[in-house]
Amino acid sequence: MDAVKPIDTLAFFPVVQSHLVELLRGLSADDWQRPTICKGWSVKDIAAHLLDVDLRLISLYRDHYSHHDGTVINSYQSLVGYLNQLNHSWVVAARRLSPAVITDQLAQSGPQIYALLKELPPFENAVFSVAWAGEDVSPNWFHVARQYTEIWHHQQQIRLAVGQTAPLMTAELYYPLLDTFARALPHTYREVDAKEGTVVKMSITGNGGDTWYLCKQPGAWQLFTSDTDTAANATIIIDGEIAWRLFTKGITRDEALNYISISGDERLALPVLGMLSVMA
């Protein structure tokens, strides 16, 4: 087995950004108001959220400006609560904006984000850690990959609502998302007891799917990839059509059971269903 390697997602930003603007420009007035799997948010709300993220990143990296209201953040849950409130306040205010204004702004902000992220030294420490992977400090390449997953999965929430999911479900665009999401596996299993050498195999089917191996090492679980079949104590196979939803709270655990198969020790396989690769 080979240890997982850094993920280079930069080249895919212009592609998903272009897909987003093209999608939004083609939506009808009814489409903009459709509900999404992001509870309480419409298609327009998610588009506004994506604009919020872009503008905050431009403020941070171009203008070296950030704002914090003094909220005390001393735990993972307090961070999630703070982010939820931050996101909610923008979305509510942006309901005053027209779909055309939001789309035009995203068409301008996307290329700026790409240019700014390209300037980040990939192995230096990022401004923000990837907390859902259990990290207190993360390299820039992981921060950038996390941003890619944000753009991808929120756009796909819009696409799911309007019945246009295919453009992002290519191997080229879907695999980097899944590979980034899989980096949450060791943190997800941090309290799962197993003897050293225990292997959990997660396979995701379809375009962009692959296999990841989680192995219990001294003191921690570690993620690996391999081109050859490795004996596993537990194997879970997940339908690629719903994998992105499973890891972003877009489908319930009970619903997900209809799209998976498990062999071997079920106790070792089931924690995969609790993996979250978003701040939630």
Picking from 238, 241, 234, the residue whose alpha carbon sits closest to that of residue 273 is: 238
Q: What pLDDT is attached to residue 104? A: 99
pLDDT of res. 120: 98
- Residue ranges of the chain whose pLDDT lies below 70: 227-230, 280
- How many C-beta neighbours within 10 Å does residue 137 have? 10
Contacts of 11-14 with C-beta under 8 Å, sequence gap 24+, read 12/148, 12/172, 12/173, 12/176, 13/110, 13/113, 13/114, 13/117, 13/148, 13/151, 14/110, 14/111, 14/114
The pLDDT score that the predictor gives to residue 227 is 63
Closest CA to 61 of 136, 121, 149: 121
Domain residue spans of the chain: 2-168, 184-274
The CATH number of domain 184-274, selected from 3.40.50.2300, 1.20.140.10, 1.10.10.10, 3.30.1050.10: 3.30.1050.10
The alpha carbon of 81 is separated from its chain's Cα centroid by a whole number of angstroms, namely 18
Q: Does domain 2-168 have CATH number 1.20.120.450?
A: yes
Residue 56 · residue 63 · CB < 8 Å: no
- Predicted confidence at residue 74, as pLDDT, reads 77
Q: What is the DSSP string of 254-277?
A: HHHGGGEEEEE-HHHHGGGGG---
Q: Which residues pair with 222 in a beta bridge?
A: 215
- Looking at residue 226, what is its pLDDT? 77
Q: What is the pLDDT of residue 228?
A: 60
Of the candidates 148, 197, 185, 162, the residue with the CA atom closest to the CA atom of residue 271: 185
